[in-house]
Amino acid sequence: MEGMEQLYLYGLIAGGILTLCYILLSDILDGLFDFIPDGWLNPTLILSFVTFLSAGGYLFETLTSINSVLILITSSLISLLLVLLLNIFVLIPLSNAEESNAYTEDDLIGRTGQVIVSIPRDGFGEVILHDSGGNISKTAKCFDGADIPYGKDILVIDIKEGVAYVSVKEDEFRL
């Protein structure tokens, strides 16, 4: 095995191992490197670039007789393109999807739902709130201090300490 082939192979192995370690320890490492501004030195993109570069360089070195400098340039360009596509079509949509599923308790005020565990006068029950992103189940207490039976439609009035204070939803059209 020639020197460049060996270098690319070691780079591929190191890139794979570091990528696996980063996947397993990403939450810890993200906390350690919180001082780096977002968008700069993204470890996923750097490790992907090293892995793609090493894999492309190794394949070109073993399968072709092209000059090593030309192989390095070609592999770098291909790796840059692949990392750019990975970022645009995978990483950015994933980060946006994570943010869109997050909600605060204030976001739940005014939402409607249904009682799934009856709410006694002085006790707690459970409600399910419907949303376009899915359903949210919350511990609930009656805002008015009355019993609310299973299956009743409710409206969230307030949320305190993780408990939804709800009221029976009035029918909009009464005759």
Q: Angle at which helices 3-32 and 43-63 pack, to 10 degrees?
A: 170
The pLDDT profile of the chain, 175 residues, written as one tens digit per residue, is: 678 999 999 999 999 899 889 888 887 777 776 666 666 678 888 999 999 999 999 999 999 999 999 999 999 999 999 999 999 998 888 777 655 556 777 778 888 899 999 999 888 999 999 876 678 889 999 988 889 999 999 999 999 888 999 999 876 555 5
Q: What angle do CA 6, 25, 18 make, to 5 degrees?
A: 5
Q: Please name the fold of domain 105-168.
A: OB fold (Dihydrolipoamide Acetyltransferase, E2P) (2.40.50)
H or E segment and range at residue 162:
none
Report which of 4, 16, 14 is spatially closest to residue 75, judged by C-alpha positions. 4
Domain ranges of the chain: 3-101, 105-168
The two structure tokens encoding residue 20: 């696996």
Other CB atoms within 10 Å distance of the CB of residue 7: 16
